[in-house]
Amino acid sequence: MSETPPENPDFDAMTRDIAEVPAVEVIVTVAVNLMSAAAVKLGLSEEGDTYKDLDEARKLITALAGLLDGGATEISSFHAAPLRDGLKSLQLAFREASIVPDEPGQGPGEKYTGPVYR
């Protein structure tokens, strides 16, 4: 029985591909992925509560807030404004989903965004 080695990825080609992607696009793509994952963990996907996990959602929302806080000046308000709106929506959804809501300023990502109120 002969085993064939797994295909090795072409790291040079991958490096060239990523080198052609503008930083703004990378930041926005990561932010959208964090938003999507947080929405699923908040139970906001078509599957509903199947994948709901507020602890995981908290981590994702906090990471998103940190990314936007650190990268907002680099990606322009054209890109940052809708991402901030999405972040605030996730923070509010988290607050609504929590049985015992965090104090204002203590919710996920609020150390970067400030308190989020209903």
- Domain assignment present for residue 86? The answer is yes
- Domain assignment present for residue 111? The answer is no
- Domain assignment present for residue 115? The answer is no
- Domain assignment present for residue 109? The answer is no
- Domain assignment present for residue 56? The answer is yes
User: What does the pLDDT profile of the chain (118 residues) look like in tens digits?
Assistant: 556 555 667 777 777 788 889 999 999 999 999 999 999 999 999 988 999 999 999 999 999 999 999 998 899 889 999 999 999 999 999 999 999 989 999 999 999 999 998 7
What's the longest Cα–Cα distance across the chain?
Answer: 64
Give the count of domains, the chain: 1
- Domain assignment present for residue 5? The answer is no
- Domain assignment present for residue 9? The answer is no
Residue at token pair 């981590």: 59
- Domain assignment present for residue 2? The answer is no
- pTM, entire model: 0.84
Residues spanned by the domain of 60: 18-97
| Orientation angle between helical segments 54-97 and 23-41, nearest 10 degrees | 70
The answer to whether 97 and 49 have CB atoms below 8 angstroms apart is no
